[in-house]
Structure 1
């Protein structure tokens, strides 16, 4: 039977090569795109699958609320006491708890110094929870010694050129602190489908010492820097455990001086390990996560692309039905019933689908390196050789074959042999309308994708060019260090002597970062010092911070280095903080009493609101103060036309002052741009697959218009003899197709508007979906359709009428 299908397929290929190739190519492109998306989606859904106990592992997050119970900060990290206390208090429910602390450190190996971002301090029990395979060393004792270090194979080769490295030492530098670590274990490289990918796991002992010892660390509920994971016992429901957390918090965290219980302003939440990557996008994460929304979007695109390819097949098969009508009639006369004919046509479709699959696999092979780099995922052709992928591919071939071949099979097998053999059989209007509906659906999908591309591009342009309220250009940021902060005024004068540096400042955080630091505050409202129920983020700055960043004041003044009281008592707020406190305007805030943490003073200035964080977040209430320490960054305002000279100078100065540390800098402008990389990729994905959708639609429209033109060649000849112009013939043949595109446009508009409006809700500041976008999308689809159809109709219209009249 298969050999018969193959013979028929080859015979049809020889008789109608263009038709067959258009169908196969359309299916191939659709399947190739779907395979790429399938690999990406499966990879996204496979996060943490390699952990044997993943179904029992939960991460602890910490949220902070205002007096109304609304969450105003939700961290994927928690304070150091929570892990051990949870295990101690709920020993029947929790088998194990572990904490990890990620910090950028410098590792010195001989004369070489490297900055490492995936360096984690971890509790010794970490290997009891996570299934990281230790190749050398004992995982039960590897992190028990104060200087223990477990590193991956890749890092072992990087630092020592081999993996047999037990007992070897490295020097670690964290700020001004240096200590030695000894390799006690080597583990297999962590798969990239995990939100937690340590290259180094070090003993927690240095962190305990930093906090002033274990007892001091266990009293610190404000340092939320620890990724905390719980391994629950079998059968324990995390929801039931969470119900006991409020009393747990009240038991361990003391009430405030006014009698406020801890459970009213903070809470803990448990996240299943496998849900973190796609469902957790909190205010702090180990690394940026993805979103389940994008998995849905990409999956929908894959389905749409396949549907468009299947629609092409159905349209072309039914449009050319007259070519096979005689064959069907003869087969029925010879005794073939409808089921036999259906099997035959379905078999031919699946045969073409298999040929399309071969081309699709070739396309995947050619594009997967670029697609893998683009998505930053470890995707490769070897994945397709796995059993589950083979099943998925065969299932896709069968599904495409059934969907694409079902209607043509039923349609062709339904021909009445008497009418066919007499030459009186005509395709009914119902079938014509159905085919038109399929074309409408094709272009509706294409237009929706075009709208999505235009909306994403417009939103990106808006984010990149929006006035942030400060001068983001020409700002170079370096990490701060003790030698600089201790001699700041002397070094500032020295740096400003360079003609390319116009200003310099220090800050605990700088614009383009996240505002994660806050303390309790009180403000003078209606003559009384009142505790505030709003979260006000703090930024510690030097006197020249606002001048360096070009931040404007709404009222009051800047910090003044000549006033010693400014370093002890002065506060500067932003307009959002003034509104949150309840003052009528920025002018009212000046000279009002203000207490923040342990510092009491008064407000000396109010800045205009500016975007410290990305446009994903609304502008937060902020307070700025001058501290004794806690400067993490140093900012340089430079002249853009002297950027290369300034960077060379800064590097030279850095190497002179910090010879053991690499010179790493970033610009504020670039860092803001990096925060929109996810949207950049979404736009690129939409653009790429919208292009494919249009390409497949063009193939189908090309085939349909070619066939329609072929059927009306004699009519065209007669019209030309009667005086019709090429333009009028073009309008005659093209208007029906353009009507279908217009109907597709009308269907696409409300769906695309709803979908993109929902997507824009992810941003605190966004564009509105303009009608101009829909008009551009519709005109683009119209233009593509017009060019495709006209390429065939013009060719037919230019044929000599004498030759046209001879066509049978």
Structure 2
């Protein structure tokens, strides 16, 4: 039986190669796109699952509340004291607690100097929690030494080549801190599917010393720089620990000045480690995470592409129904039952799907490097290393084969022998309506994807060109090293003598970063000094920060070099801070008393609101002050046309002043654009797969129009004899298909509007979706459909009426 099916399949393949090629091509393209997406989705869902105890590892986050209970800040980091306290207070429930603290620093060996951003200080017990394999050395012993350092295999090759790294020394430089670190262990590179990746692990003792010793560190509840992980004991429910957190906070943190319990203004939250990558996008993270929303989006696109490919197959199969009607009639006359015919057609479909799968694997393999680079993921399609991939591929083949072959099998096997032999068999209207519904669905999906592309492109254009309230162009940012801060005024005057440097300023943070620093606020309201139930984000700046960034004053004045009190008592606010405090206007805020953390002073000026963070975040209330310390960055505005010359000059100055540190800088403009890379990738993915969806839909429409013209050949001949022109025939055949596109458009509009509005809600500032977007998407789909249908209609309209009447 199967051999007979195979013979018939090969015979049809030789007899109709063009039909088979188009059908297999549609399936293979759809399957290849789906394979790539599923590889990406599988990688996203695999994060941190390689840890043997992943079901018991939780990372703690910390949130802060206003008095009304609203969260005003949620950090993925804790203060240094929380780790040891959690370990001592929850011994019955928690097996282990480890902390990691990431920092950018410089490492130097005899020949090389590198700036490293995957350097982590950590506790010795880290390998009791995470399943990272040690290649050489004892990890716990290594991290018990103050100078202990564990490096990854790739870093061992980077610094020491083929030489044995054990016992070798690297000099660590972080600001004024310098230390010699000894390599005491080597670990395998941390897998890419980890929510953070470390190349260096160093003893936490150096950090403890930085905080002034263990006792001082244990009193610190404000420096939230530590990723803190709990390993629960087997059988412990995390809810048991979570329920005790409020009492834990109240035991260890002092009550507020107003007598409020700590648990009323801060909280700790557990996150299962396997949930962090897709569900945790907090105000601070060890590394940027992805989002489960994008996994849903990509999965939906993969399913849509597969369905469109299956629908395309159905339409092409039924379009050729007349060619196989006589075959079915003869088989039924000779005794073939309907079940056997269904089996035959399903077998043909699965054979075609297998052929398509082989081509899809080849296409996926060719496209995988490009797709991997685009997504930034190390994707692999090695079927020998991942036999589960082979099983998934077989499931995909059966799924596609069953979906694509189900309707054609039932349709073709349902032909009535007597009517087929007489040539009077007509296609039931319900079948024609079903095929039309399939085409409507295809174009609805295509239009949804086109709308998505247009909305993403418009939102990206809006974000890149929106006025931010300051001048972001031609500002380069360097680390503010100690020598520069200590001799800032002299170096500033020196730099300003260069013809390409317009202005420069020091700051703790610069626009394009996150506003993570804040302290308690008391402000003069109605003559009384009142505690504010708001969060004022603070930025430490030098006198000419506003000038360097082109930030305009709304009222009052900027900091003045000539007034010593500006460095100790003066504050600048933005307009959002004035509104949050409750002052009537920017002018009304001038001269008002303001106590911010330990500083007591008054407001000397108000700057106009500007976007410090990305457009995902609303403009926060901000306070600016001149500090004694805590300058992390120096921002330098370059003159137009002097950019390359000025950067070369800054590099020379850097090498002269800091020869032991590499010269690295970034620009404010580039940093803002980098914040929207995820959206740019989404737009590109939508565009690419929208193109594929339209291509496959066009093949389906081609098949349906071919079927329709074949069914109406005699009618076309009669109309031509009666005087119908070619344009009349083309319009007659085309209008029905354009109606299908219109119905698809009507279905797509509300779905696309809802979906894209939900996506735009993730931005604090976004476009509104114009009717023009939907009109343009509908026009594109209709234009492509018209081109497709007109090609078939023109061919049918050019048939000689005599030839048309010969068709049986």
- With normalisation by structure 2, the TM-score equals 0.98
Deviation string, structure 1 residues 476-524 (Cα, Å, up to 9, x no partner): 1111111111111111111111111111111000000000000111100
Distance 1:120 1:600, change over 3 A: same
Query: Do 2:120 and 2:200's aligned partners in 1 also have CA atoms closer than 8 Å?
Result: yes
Q: After the TM superposition, which of the residue ranges 233-242 and 573-582 deviates more from structure 2?
A: 233-242
Alignment of 1:299-698 (within 5 A): 299-382=299-382, 386-698=386-698
1:58 is aligned to 58
Shift of residue 724, structure 1, vs aligned partner: 2.9
Helix, strand or coil for the counterpart of 1:245?
Answer: helix
Contact 1:98/1:230 (8 A) holds in 2: yes
- Alpha-carbon separation, structure 1, partners of 2:720 and 2:638: 72
Task: Determine the C-alpha separation between the residues in 2 that align with 1:309 and 1:50.
Answer: 35
**What displacement does 1:714 show?**
4.6
Provide closer, same or farther for how the CA distance between residues 765 and 324 of structure 1 changes in structure 2, counting only shifts above 3 A.
Answer: same
Q: Deviations over 1:140-179 (max 9, x none)?
A: 3121101111111100000001373111110111112111
- Compared with structure 1, are the counterparts of its residues 325 and 807 closer, same or farther at alpha carbon in structure 2 (3 Å cutoff)? closer
Q: Is the 8 A contact 1:153 1:163 kept in 2?
A: no
- Partner SS, residue 350 of structure 1: helix
SS of the equivalent of 2:143 reads coil
Corresponding residue of 1:251:
251
Deviation readout 1:211-245 (Å, 9 max, x if unpaired): 11111111111100000000000111112211111
How far apart in 2 are the matches of 1:31 and 1:163? 47
Return the alpha-carbon distance in structure 1 between the equivalents of residues 725 and 556 of structure 2.
Answer: 77
- Confirm whether residue 753 of structure 1 aligns to residue 766 of structure 2: no
Q: Distance in 1 between matches of 2:2 and 2:116?
A: 59
Question: Distance between the aligned counterparts of 2:402 and 2:644, measured in 1?
Answer: 62
Distance 1:540 1:601 in 2: 15
**Paired residue for 2:48?**
48
Give the Cα–Cα distance (whole angstroms) in 2 for the partners of residues 4 and 105 of structure 1: 71
Q: Following the alignment from structure 1 to structure 2, what is the Cα–Cα distance between the partners of residues 683 and 469?
A: 27
Matched, 1:15 2:23: no
Structure 2 CA distance for aligned equivalents of residues 793 and 87 of structure 1: 77
**Alignment correspondent of 2:195:** 195
Supply the distance in 2 between the matched residues of 1:332 and 1:383 (Cα, whole angstroms): 43
Contact 2:539/2:622 (<8 A) preserved? yes
Query: How far 1:368 moved relative to its partner?
Result: 0.5
Aligned residues: 808
- 2: distance between equivalents of 1:364 and 1:342? 31
Alignment pair present for 1:143 and 2:143: yes
TM-aligned CA deviation for residue 437 of structure 1: 0.3
SS of residue matched to 2:628:
coil
Give the drift of 1:255. 1.0
2:738 alignment partner, SS class = helix
Deviation at 1:127, TM superposition (A): 0.5
CA shift for structure 1 position 713: 4.2
Native 8 Å contact 2:383 2:390 kept in 1: no
Give, in whole Å, the separation in 2 of the partners of 1:184 and 1:162: 17
Q: Aligned partners of 1:210 and 1:516: how far apart in 2?
A: 21
Q: Please give the secondary structure, in 2, of the residue aligned with 1:415.
A: coil
Is contact 1:22-1:699 (8 Å) kept? yes
- Structure 1 residues 752 and 150 mapped into 2: Cα distance closer, same or farther (>3 Å)? same
Report 1:95-244 matches (<5 A). 95-162=95-162, 164-244=164-244
User: In 2 relative to 1, CA 773–383 (structure 1 residues): closer, same or farther, beyond 3 Å?
Assistant: farther
* Pairing 1:759-778 to 2, within 5 Å after superposition: 759-778=759-778
**Following the alignment from structure 2 to structure 1, what is the Cα–Cα distance between the partners of residues 578 and 771?**
38
1:785 and 2:785 matched: yes
Moved beyond 4 Å, runs of 4+: 799-808
CA distance in 2, matches of 1:728, 1:32: 41
CA drift of 1:807 comes to 5.0
Secondary structure of 2:73's counterpart equals strand
**Alpha carbons of 1:102 and 1:383: their partners in 2 closer, same or farther (altered >3 Å)?**
farther
Alpha carbons 2:349, 2:401 under 8 Å: kept: yes
User: How far has the Cα of 1:423 moved from its partner?
Assistant: 1.6
CA contact (8 A) 1:102 1:119 kept: yes
- Give the whole-Å Cα distance in 1 for the aligned partners of 2:803 and 2:409: 35
Computed over aligned residues only, the root mean square deviation of the Cα atoms, in angstroms, reads 1.3
Aligned partner of residue 170 in structure 1, secondary structure: strand
Q: Aligned with 1:182: secondary structure?
A: strand
Change (3 A) 1:163 1:293: farther
How far residue 806 of structure 1 moved from its aligned partner, in angstroms, is 5.1
Q: Is the 8 A contact 1:147 1:182 kept in 2?
A: yes
For residues 649-670 of structure 1, the C-alpha deviation after alignment (integer angstroms, 9 at most, x for no partner) is 1111111111111111111011
Cα distance in 2, alignment partners of residues 374 and 275 from structure 1: 24
SS of structure 2 residue aligned to 1:530:
strand
**148 and 398 in structure 1: CA distance in 2 versus 1, 3 angstrom threshold:** same
Residue aligning to 1:292: 292
Structure 1 residue 640, shift from structure 2 partner: 2.7
Q: 1:248 to 1:277 in 2, by over 3 A?
A: same
Q: How far apart are 1:803 and its partner, in Å?
A: 5.1
The equivalences for 1:721-732 within 5 A come to 721-732=721-732
> Gaps spanning 5+ residues in structure 2: where?
none
Q: What is the deviation of 1:735?
A: 0.8
Residues 62 and 75, structure 2, Cα contact 8 Å, conserved in 1 = yes
Matches of 2:4 and 2:572, distance apart in 1: 84
| 8 Å contact kept, 1:22–1:703 | no
Give 1:800 deviation, angstroms. Answer: 4.9
Q: Following the alignment from structure 2 to structure 1, what is the Cα–Cα distance between the partners of residues 660 and 721?
A: 88
2:319–2:703 CA contact under 8 A, matched in 1: no
